[in-house]
């Protein structure tokens, strides 16, 4: 794993955007895996800024999001559909039918999971998957204990994840307790992975990811086994001061 240390969150976001842009420019029909949460917000802002200044085109890009809450409509401000439209899609020229996010309102959720993996395969897999890191080592919504070979599946969120994400909701009772997430198996099939980590509260998780033995109780440790991982992390996350 290659680790790039940056001064701060701003710097991490700029480097991440540059990293993504280089890849998209070298392969215009790029399959980009996207993450939500607080960490990538400014990275997406930088992509938007570049689009406005340099007209980088997303006409041929296809995106696949990692996860979505179960039970929230696309118009719900806390859904990841809404998040992606607000923070990226509405500000770049990507065609709406080339952006894919699991449907947390599907009538048959099990089927939705199977079809989501099939869709990714149909597009020949993901070229670059962006990831954030949960405090408990979750990636996507793969909570501790998730078998590494799982493909897209339905999860019950850990209490600590519900608590961590409550900051985006009016109250903790409003946080959905279930989600659809790409599994570790789906994530590991990506040709390349870019993990973004910021803040001292992620220091311990980053240390575990880098140094613990690979184990299912700390899902992100699996990344040690992927051949092409870049971690862009700020000083606070790396040094933990």
Which residues are known to be catalytic?
67, 136, 138, 143
Give residue number: closest CB to ligand GLP.
132
Answer for which of 16, 20, 24, 35 binds ligand GLP (CB under 6 A) is: 35
- Residue from 39, 46, 99, 142 that binds ligand GLP (CB under 6 A)? 39
9 scored as a contact of ligand GLP (CB under 6 A): no
Sheet holding 99-100, edge to edge: 2-6, 229-234, 193-197, 128-131, 31-34, 62-65, 99-100
Minimum distance, C-beta of residue 153 to ligand GLP, in the bound complex (Å): 14
Choices 36-44, 85-93, 187-195, 209-217 (CB under 6 A): range interacting with ligand GLP: 36-44
Does 104 sit near ligand GLP (CB under 6 A)?
no
Q: Does 37 bind ligand GLP (CB under 6 A)?
A: yes
Residue of 38, 125, 144, 240 interacting with ligand GLP (CB under 6 A):
38
**Least Å distance between CB 101 and ligand GLP?**
12
Identify which of residues 39 and 221 has a Cβ nearer to ligand GLP in the complex.
39
Based on the shown chain and the rule CB under 6 A, indicate whether residue 16 belongs to the binding site for ligand GLP: no
Q: Dig out the tokens for 20 from the structure.
A: 């993504």
78 burial class (0-12, 13-18, 19+ CB within 10 angstroms)? Answer: middle
Among 17, 47, 61, 66, binds ligand GLP (CB under 6 A): 66
What residues between 112 and 171 interact with ligand GLP by CB under 6 A?
Answer: 132, 134, 140-141, 161, 165
36 binds ligand GLP (CB under 6 A): yes
Chain residues in the site for ligand GLP (CB under 6 A): 35-39, 66-67, 132, 134, 140-141, 161, 165
């Amino acid at each position: 794993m290659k680790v790039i240390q940056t001064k701060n969150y701003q710097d991490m976001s700029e480097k991440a955007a540059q990293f993504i842009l280089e890849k998209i420019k070298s392969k215009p029909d790029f399959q980009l895996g996207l993450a939500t949460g607080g960490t990538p917000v400014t990275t997406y802002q930088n992509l938007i800024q570049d689009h406005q200044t340099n007209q980088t085109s997303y006409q041929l890009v296809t995106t696949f999001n990692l996860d979505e809450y179960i039970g929230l409509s696309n118009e719900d401000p806390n859904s990841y559909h809404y998040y992606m439209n607000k923070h990226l899609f509405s500000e770049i020229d990507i065609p709406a039918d080339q952006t894919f996010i699991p449907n947390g309102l599907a009538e048959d959720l099990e089927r939705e999971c199977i079809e989501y993996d099939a869709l990714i395969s149909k597009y020949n897999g993901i070229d670059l998957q962006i990831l954030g890191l949960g405090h408990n080592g979750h990636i996507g919504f793969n909570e501790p204990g998730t078998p590494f070979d799982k493909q897209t599946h339905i999860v019950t969120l850990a209490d600590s994840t519900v608590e961590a994400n409550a900051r985006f909701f009016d109250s903790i009772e409003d946080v959905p307790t279930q989600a659809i997430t790409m599994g570790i198996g789906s994530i590991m099939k990506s040709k390349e992975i870019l993990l973004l980590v910021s803040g001292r509260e992620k220091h311990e998780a980053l240390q575990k990811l880098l140094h613990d033995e690979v184990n299912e109780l700390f899902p992100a440790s699996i990344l040690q086994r992927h051949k092409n991982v870049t971690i862009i992390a700020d000083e606070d996350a790396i040094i933990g001061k």
